[in-house]
Amino acid sequence: MGKTESLMHVREIWDNQNLTVFDKASDISAEYYTANLELASTAAYIGATPSELDALLSLSELDDDVLKKVSESNPPITTWMILASASDDEILAAVEELKDASQKRLTDNLESVEERLYTVMVQVAGPTPEQSLASIPCDVLLAMSKRAKDYKALSEKEINFLSSAGNYRRAGKILTNKQVKWVKDILSRLADAEVIKHNGIDSDQAMCDAALDALGR
């Protein structure tokens, strides 16, 4: 089967509303890796975002029994990457939370479910630095964007990214792995340059402390 046929097959699987998450993850990953497809172009062809497709491919790497448990809870697409990067114990806790959300008819509020999954996972394992940064308060990111601008400590692109990430969090969304890596790099450089530090006297010191705490510093 050529790449064009593989792309068509992947799109057919992606669009099939009757397939479970387990079936989609298993079938799409098999086709994707066998045909050596490319993430961005495949996502565009099937009408998904690269992060959505990447999340599904990441789910396919879970143990089959674990993935079946995830699939049975019918997780919203916004939670796929969170689940894919979790431990087995965290996944089991998340699955129970998803079942509870479904019973209470709360799954329509995807952002709320996403936030709550992070909460139960952190309760199980404690927050990793990446989890702390993924759920960093929007006000902290917006304050760091302003501070970096005032201190001329970052490029305009980086300042705008922090502002954008802050607004993303304000909407209740958890930062993606890619966003977390960039936030971590930017805040680390601000800390190394002592643009943000503990025990300062500026009016935004509480935000600086929160940023450093999220970094584990």
pLDDT of residue 106: 47
What's the pLDDT score for residue 167?
93
Question: Which residues are within 8 A (CB) of 185 and not within 5 positions of it... i.e. 6 or more apart?
Answer: none
Banded model confidence at residue 217, pLDDT cuts 50, 70, 90: confident
User: Per residue in 84-119, pLDDT tens?
Assistant: 888 888 888 888 888 776 655 544 444 467 777 877
The model's pLDDT over 43-81, given as tens digits with 9 standing for 90+, comes to 999 999 999 999 999 999 999 999 999 999 888 898 898
d(CA 74, CA 99): 9
Q: State pLDDT tens for residues 115-167.
A: 778 778 777 766 677 878 988 999 999 999 999 999 999 999 999 999 999 99
Encode 55-72: b = buried (16+ Cβ within 10 Å), e = exposed: bbbbbbebeeebbebbbe
H or E element that contains 89:
helix 88-103
16 vs 208: CA distance, rounded Å:
47
Q: What was the pLDDT predicted at 97?
A: 83
pTM of the model: 0.58
Matching residue, tokens 């990067």:
85
